Each structure stands twice: as C-alpha cells, then as structure tokens.
Amino acid sequence: MKNLVGIEREKAEKLVVELNVLLADYEIFYQNLRGFHWNIKGKEFFELHGKFEELYNDAFVKIDEIAERILTLEGEPLHTYTDYLKATEIKEAKSVTDGEKCVEIVVKNFSTLIVKERLILSLAADAEDEGTLSLMSDYISETEKTLWMLNSYLK
C-alpha cells in the first residue's frame, strides 16, 4: 500500500524514523551553534561570531525542511527537546567559549550529520522517494564543502 505521494508506507515509515533522528540532530546542532555565536571570546570573535550565525541560520532552514518532509511522508516530526535529546547523537555543548574548540565541535557535529544524511539518501533511493533524495543530496553537497572549509580553518 502506498501513501499520498506514492511511496510504499513501510518504506516511508522507515524514512520518517531516520528523518526524525536527523531532525533531532539538527535541533541540538542549531542550539550549539547559537551558544557558540553568543559566547565566543578571543581574537577570532568577529570572524567566528558571523560564521556561527550563518551556520545556525542555515540549520534553522533545514530543521523546517526536514519536519515538512516528515509530514509529507505522513509522519509526525519530533517537536520537544525531551524527544530530541533521546534521539540525537549530537551532544549538547555548554559554556564553550574558545573559538578553536567551537570549530572542532562543529566539525564533529557535521560529521555526524553527514553520516545520517547518507543513510537517509540510501533509504530514499530504495523507496524511490525523489523528494527526500533531492533534499539529502543537496544537504550532503553543502555539508561536504563546509566540512572541508572548517577543517582547513583548524589546520
């Protein structure tokens, strides 16, 4: 049996589970970025303060897109921090003010996100879910480039 957008329900349900994990990851990642933006100190303040704002604005957009994709697949997006913290692999970063440490955490978080995005890409291909495929493909391309740039910053 297929759902409204023509995807087998069982496959759509698997996608919803993994998209909810990605949603939880992005929510915690977003909040970490906000904390870094607010609390960064030191010589890299101006450079990183702006970069963290750019990254959290991008994460904010992705959070909405992921939640709407879950709804499109006839699922329910997680929407409480209690649920996010149960589902995420990304750890909360509290009271981090050192720029290099913040960037290291961002790189680690992006590395976690890209693994999930690739998993969802594979599941979407199996389900013939072009909408999710397209979304994940775009995310992966952006994440790869951002990871390269942030890793170059650390060297």
Structure tokens at 48: 């990183």
d(CA 22, CA 8): 21
List the one residue out of 26, 124, 113, 136 whose CA is nearest residue 73: 124
Task: Give residue 37's identity as a one-letter amino acid code.
Answer: H
Low-confidence ranges of the chain (pLDDT < 70): none
pLDDT of residue 79: 98
- pTM here? 0.96
What's the pLDDT tens digit per position in 132-151? 999 999 999 999 999 999 99
List the one residue out of 96, 75, 86 whose CA is nearest residue 31: 96
pLDDT of residue 44: 94
d(CA 57, CA 140): 17
What's the pLDDT tens digit per position in 107-141? 999 999 999 999 999 999 999 999 999 999 999 99
3-state secondary structure the chain: CECCCCCEHHHHHHHHHHHHHHHHHHHHHHHHHHHHHHHCECCCHHHHHHHHHHHHHHHHHHHHHHHHHHHHCCCCCCCCHHHHHHHCCCCCCCCCCEHHHHHHHHHHHHHHHHHHHHHHHHHHHHHCCHHHHHHHHHHHHHHHHHHHHHHHHHC
pLDDT of residue 12: 98
How far CA 118 is from CA of 33, 80, 85, 151, in Å, comes to: 22, 25, 21, 20
Q: Structural domains in the chain? A: 9-154 (1.20.1260.10)
